[in-house]
């Protein structure tokens, strides 16, 4: 189903019948990716006395599950600056628009001592001449194991502070990446890339020019058959009043 949308005073032709889902589903088994030293999510039927909320158990007309998970640790999620501030900010209040011009880029992180780092130079080269609202970073190599990894205590690649500053200075409001965090796993709580992207100077008292309407989406997966280039991004979250929510970013090829 082809449609034309008007976005930021430009018209874009999209085929809505061909979505490119770059989210990871939430499961309660070994297929679920995990980070930040958490156990797997739990999805299990409600039990009240001898009643079990599961049709196959023969005692319920409906399946009626409780779900216990952490959005930061258990799959694709979108977060606002409330993730790092003393004052509460909700991603559900910060994200009010859902379609954005996006650029998919593939980057091989650079080895710096014991770390793998996405540098400012790499981002600058990939975005040269581009004018966009969102960036989707696919790290290489792009093994399908990303869909199932336990990232805890593995020191995954991360985004250099200078790269995050550049992304902010280019006016990009939405940063998506296939890693559990834009920052180093063990960084003594510095969170340099988070702070640089959101322009948060003091987590205890938010500065006036902090970027309240900007988001970071982590633990996506961009399949190999999605080529680098420009897309329309539909970024949808569940309506949690929380610093972060599970999310479903979907790309659409721009046909004109």
Domain of 246 in residue numbering reads as 2-26+71-253
Instruction: Look up the CATH number of the domain holding residue 78.
Output: 3.50.30.50
Average pLDDT over residues 17-33: 95
Within-domain flag for 41:
no
Within-domain flag for 56:
no
Would you place residue 6 in the very low, low, confident or very high pLDDT band (cuts 50, 70, 90)? confident
Within-domain flag for 186:
yes
Average pLDDT over residues 186-215: 97
Contact between 119 and 110 (Cβ < 8 Å):
yes
Q: Which residue has the tokens 């399908």?
A: 144
Say how many Å lie between the first and final Cα of the chain, rounded.
15
Within-domain flag for 12:
yes
Q: What integer pLDDT is reported at residue 1 of this predicted model?
A: 77
Within-domain flag for 121:
yes
Q: What integer pLDDT is reported at residue 256 of this predicted model?
A: 86
The number of distinct structural domains making up the chain is 1
Within-domain flag for 109:
yes
Within-domain flag for 60:
no
Percent of the chain at pLDDT > 70 equals 100
Q: How many CB atoms sit inside 10 A of residue 247's CB?
A: 25
Sheet hosting strand 158-159, strand order edge to edge: 110-112, 115-118, 158-159
Of the candidates 209, 196, 256, 210, which has an alpha carbon nearest to the alpha carbon of residue 230?
A: 256
Within-domain flag for 59:
no
Q: What integer pLDDT is reported at residue 77 of this predicted model?
A: 98
- What is the model's pTM? 0.96
- Does the pLDDT value for residue 58 go beyond 80? yes
Would you place residue 8 in the very low, low, confident or very high pLDDT band (cuts 50, 70, 90)? confident
Average pLDDT over residues 115-126: 98
Q: How many CB atoms sit inside 10 A of residue 255's CB?
A: 12
Q: What integer pLDDT is reported at residue 223 of this predicted model?
A: 98
Mean pLDDT of the chain: 96
């Amino acid at each position: 189903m082809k449609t034309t949308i008007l976005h930021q005073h430009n018209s874009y032709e999209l085929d809505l019948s061909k979505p490119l889902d770059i989210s990871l589903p939430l499961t309660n088994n070994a297929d679920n990716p995990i980070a930040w030293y958490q156990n797997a999510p739990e999805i299990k039927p409600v039990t009240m006395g001898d009643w079990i909320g599961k049709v196959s158990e023969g005692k319920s007309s409906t399946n009626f599950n409780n779900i216990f998970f952490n959005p930061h640790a258990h799959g694709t999620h979108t977060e606002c600056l409330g993730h790092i501030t003393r004052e509460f900010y909700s991603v559900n209040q910060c994200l009010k628009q859902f379609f954005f011009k996006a650029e998919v880029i593939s980057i091989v992180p650079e080895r710096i001592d014991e770390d793998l780092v996405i540098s400012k130079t790499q981002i600058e080269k990939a975005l040269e001449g581009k004018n966009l609202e969102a960036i989707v970073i696919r790290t290489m190599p792009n093994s399908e194991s990303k869909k199932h990894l336990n990232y805890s205590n593995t020191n995954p690649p991360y985004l250099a502070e200078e790269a995050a500053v550049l992304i902010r200075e280019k006016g990009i409001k939405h940063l998506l990446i296939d890693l559990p965090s834009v920052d180093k796993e063990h960084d003594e709580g510095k969170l340099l890339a988070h702070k640089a992207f959101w322009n948060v100077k003091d987590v205890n008292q938010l500065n006036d020019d902090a970027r309240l309407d900007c988001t970071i989406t982590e633990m996506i997966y961009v399949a190999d058959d999605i080529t680098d280039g420009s897309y329309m991004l539909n970024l949808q979250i569940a309506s949690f009043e929380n610093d972060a929510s599970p999310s479903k970013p979907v790309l659409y090829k721009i046909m004109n």
